[in-house]
Amino acid sequence: MQLGMVGLGRMGANMSERLRLGDHEVIGYDRNPEVSEVASLADLVERLKPPRVTWVMVPSGDPTEQTINELSELLDGGDLIVDGGNSNFRDSMRRGEELKQKGLRFIDAGTSGGIWGLKVGYCLMVGGSEEAFKHLEPALKTLAPEAGYAHVGPVGAGHFTKMVHNGIEYAMLQSYAEGFEILKSSDFDLDMYQISALWNHGSVVRSWLLELAESAFEKDADLSGIKGYVDDSGEGRWTVFEAINENVPAPTIAASLFARFVSRQDDSFAMKVIAALRNEFGGHAVKRE
List the catalytic residue out of 162, 184, 227, 235. Answer: 162
Residue 162 appears among annotated catalytic residues: yes
Rounded CA gap, 233 and 93, in Å?
20
Contacts of 211 (CB under 8 A, 6+ apart): 200
Amino acid at 195: I
Rounded CA gap, 75 and 81, in Å?
9
Where in the chain does DSSP place strands (E)?
2-6, 25-29, 53-56, 80-83, 105-112, 123-127, 149-153
Residue 211 appears among annotated catalytic residues: no
Q: Is 112 exposed, middle or buried (0-12, 13-18, 19+ CB in 10 A)?
A: middle
Q: How far is CA 59 from its chain centroid? A: 10
Rounded CA gap, 180 and 287, in Å?
26
List the catalytic residue out of 70, 169, 211, 242. Answer: 169
Helix (H, G, I), strand (E, B) or coil at 26: strand
Indicate which residues carry an active-site annotation. 162, 169
